[in-house]
Amino acid sequence: MIRVGLTGGIASGKSAVGELLRQHGALVIDSDQLARDVVAPGSAGLAAVIERFGAGILLPDGGLDRAALGRLVFSDDAARAELNAIIHPRVRAAATAIEAQVSDPYAIVVHMIPLLVETGQQDSFDALVVVDVDEDTQRARLMARNDLTEDEAQARIDAQVSRTDRLRVADFVIRNDAGLEELAERAHAVWHELLKRRGQQGDGCGC
């Protein structure tokens, strides 16, 4: 098994790359999804969020109002740090538990972690893949996807490390400045490199 870290700035295209690698055969563990799971209705994580941020952060159906919490924590560094302290340990524990179930010795396990560099995990993997995009494209995609103003999008970009800091620790960089077809070609090329690292090139590629 090899363990791969996949990161990139907000709206850089991590999920798109994660899906492409999954289609090639990777087992992808998505921290954003785990961060949703650990605050599911009835969870201890949600109880901790309510204790800190109040029941006003809930939707009428009892679920977390993610848009409201996002507005709050991306305009308040201290609040964001408190939310991180609630969510991150639970996400790590969940990711570890999933990985512990992997029995295939040839598995390529991709941990998709937005804040991989911010949380100092750059030395925890056999290979690090960074999805990189210029900031203007990133901001435009983020504004369109999340229906944010330019200032709101910029605040989310500024809540993360710089491109330079991420690129510094990358083993492989996937540029996502063109279309989705180019992205698929670039992800495919990196998949081949990961197969080489695993020492089983050709095995499991099927393409």
Ligand X SMILES: Nc1ncnc2c1ncn2[C@@H]1O[C@H](COP(=O)(O)OP(=O)(O)OP(=O)(O)O)[C@@H](O)[C@H]1O
Ligand Y SMILES: CC(C)(COP(=O)(O)OP(=O)(O)OC[C@H]1O[C@@H](n2cnc3c(N)ncnc32)[C@H](O)[C@@H]1O)[C@@H](O)C(=O)NCCC(=O)NCCS
Q: Which residues fall in the annotated binding site for ATP?
A: 11-16
User: CB of residue 104 vs ligand X: minimum separation in angstroms?
Assistant: 25
Tell me if 127 contacts ligand Y by CB under 6 A.
no
Other residues' Cβ atoms within 10 Å of the Cβ of residue 203: 11
Q: Which position among 36, 141, 192, 197 is part of the footprint of ligand X (CB under 6 A)?
A: 141
CA angle centred on 127, ends 160 and 104, rounded to 5°:
120
Quote the CA–CA distance of 59 and 143 in Å, as a whole number. 23
Q: Between 25 and 70, name the residue whose CB sits nearer to ligand X.
A: 70
Binding to ligand Y (CB under 6 A) within 102-121 occurs at 114-115
User: CB of residue 196 vs ligand X: minimum separation in angstroms?
Assistant: 25
Residue pair 46/40 in contact by the 8 Å Cβ criterion? yes
CA distances (Å), origin 199, targets 18, 128, 132, 194: 21, 17, 26, 9
List the one residue out of 80, 65, 57 whose CA is nearest residue 10: 80
Place of tokens 């070609």: 185
Q: What is the x/- site pattern for ligand X, positions 146-185, by CB under 6 A?
A: ------------------------------x--xx--x--
| Binds 138: which of ligand Y, ligand X, none (CB < 5-8 Å by kind) | none
User: CB of residue 83 vs ligand Y: minimum separation in angstroms?
Assistant: 5
Tell me if 94 contacts ligand Y by CB under 6 A.
no
Hey, which residues does 30 pair with through a beta bridge? 112
Place of tokens 């698929």: 184
Strand 27-30, strand 127-132: pairing:
unpaired
Size of site (CB under 6 A) for ligand Y: 17
Tell me if 11 contacts ligand X by CB under 6 A.
yes
Q: Which position among 48, 87, 133, 194 is part of the footprint of ligand Y (CB under 6 A)?
A: 87
**Residues of the shown chain interacting with ligand X in the complex, contacts defined by CB under 6 A:** 8, 10-16, 32, 114, 141, 145, 176, 179-180, 183
